[in-house]
Amino acid sequence: MNVLFIVLNETRYLDDILDSFVDIGVKGATILDSQGMGSAIANSGQGNQPLFGSIRLFLDNAKPYNKTIFTVIDNEDVLTKAVESVCRILGDIDKPGVGMMFTVPVNNVYGI
């Protein structure tokens, strides 16, 4: 059993991802409004160090907020299909600014 996390910077793909999850048998997901650390620091005006100045320049055209989707998946085939589906929808997930995705093994789940 795993939790699949997706930090989605390109929020226009949210509905497509959720539709694909329904189609492949993902039973549910939670969607949170989120913000990356670099964006939070750059927008707060607190990051005066040179590193954060460069981040601020990089983020000027970036969206300040994103969506974080997470879902517990207890079937390896469904997990594989979910990951493949997200990759297909987003295209090159390794391209800067698209987002990120990872899984975390889960031993016990209560309340699902």
State pLDDT tens for residues 43-56: 666 655 555 555 55
pLDDT band for position 23 (cuts 50, 70, 90): very high
**Which position has the higher pLDDT, 60 or 106?**
106
- Residue 82 burial (CB count, 10 A): 25
Phi, psi of 3 (to 5 degrees): -105, 125
Which candidate, 88, 20, 90, 84, places its Cα nearest to that of 103?
Answer: 84
- Average pLDDT of the chain to the nearest whole number: 86
**Which position has the higher pLDDT, 37 or 82?**
82
d(CA 34, CA 31) in angstroms, rounded, equals 9
Which domains are present in the chain? 2-35+66-105 (3.30.70.120)
pLDDT band for position 3 (cuts 50, 70, 90): very high
Residues 6 or more apart whose Cβ sits within 8 Å of residue 35? 64, 65, 66
Task: State pLDDT tens for residues 72-103.
Answer: 999 999 999 999 999 999 998 888 888 999 99
